[in-house]
Every structure is written in structure tokens, then in C-alpha cells.
Amino acid sequence: MTWRGVMRLLVGLVLGLVFFTVLATMIFLIGTGLFWHFQHPFWQWWLYLFEASGDPTVRVWLVISGVPAFAIPFLAGVVQLVRGRRVTGWSLRRDHAPTKPVDAPIRAPTDNHGHARWMTMEEAR
């Protein structure tokens, strides 16, 4: 991985963490009815995680707000990777080296397709 790739990864992780924090906090505070009790409601999710996660109601709302807030940036990153064509999927095609001849077809041992003999290239010409 190049330095440019490392920097892009770090910037993406930082932006994902910021987006997670803001989105999880908004969902948490709106869901619990505490949104209007904070002057700057942008990072309270972490405060409630470390200070009040022992309360069962707070714990449930932390999970309810944390799951979608994690899933959205994570899926956006996966879509960005796939759309950037840096990740290639598995293919049924076998890519041969240009210097290696293509393998001859293998005859099947069953009668599924009859007993046809394939025409050679010399016969086709």
C-alpha cells in the first residue's frame, strides 16, 4: 500500500468516526428525549457510553443508536471501494498467460450431451 493509500484510509477512518459520533448522538438524544437539554449535541454518545452505560435503558439506546450509525459509514466505505474498482471479485473465467496455449476441452464421462465429436480447427478450414 502506498503512502497515498494509507493517507486516504486514515482520512476515511477519521471521517467515518466523526460521522458515526454525530449520527449516533443525534439518534440517541432524539430517541431518549434529551436533544434539547444540550447546547451542542454532537458527542454525547461517547459520554453516555463511558458514564452511564450501566443503566439498562441507556444501554439499549446506545445499541439502537450505535448500530445504524456504524452501518451507514461502513457501507458507504464498502460501496466506495467496490465502485472504485480496487476490489475485484471472483470470476469463472480462467485467464491464461499469453505464452501458454489454451487447454483442450475435456470430454465428459456421462451421456448428458451424447457422443458428439468436436470438429478440429483443421477440419473447420
Q: Over the stretch 70-108, which tens digit does the pLDDT of each residue have?
A: 999 889 888 887 787 665 666 666 666 677 777 776 666
Any domain includes 110 = no
In the predicted structure, residue 69 carries a pLDDT above the cut 90: yes
Lowest-confidence pick of 27-36, 58-67, 81-90: 81-90
Amino acid occupying residue 64: I
Any domain includes 40 = yes
Q: How many CB atoms lie within 10 A of CB 79?
A: 10
Q: How far apart are CA 115 and CA 110, in angstroms?
A: 9
Any domain includes 100 = no
Domain residue limits at 68: 10-83
Any domain includes 24 = yes
Domain count, the chain: 1
Any domain includes 66 = yes
14 alpha-carbon distance from chain centroid: 17
Amino acid occupying residue 107: R
C-alpha cell at 124: 473447420
Q: What is the pTM of this model?
A: 0.61
C-alpha cell at 57: 435503558
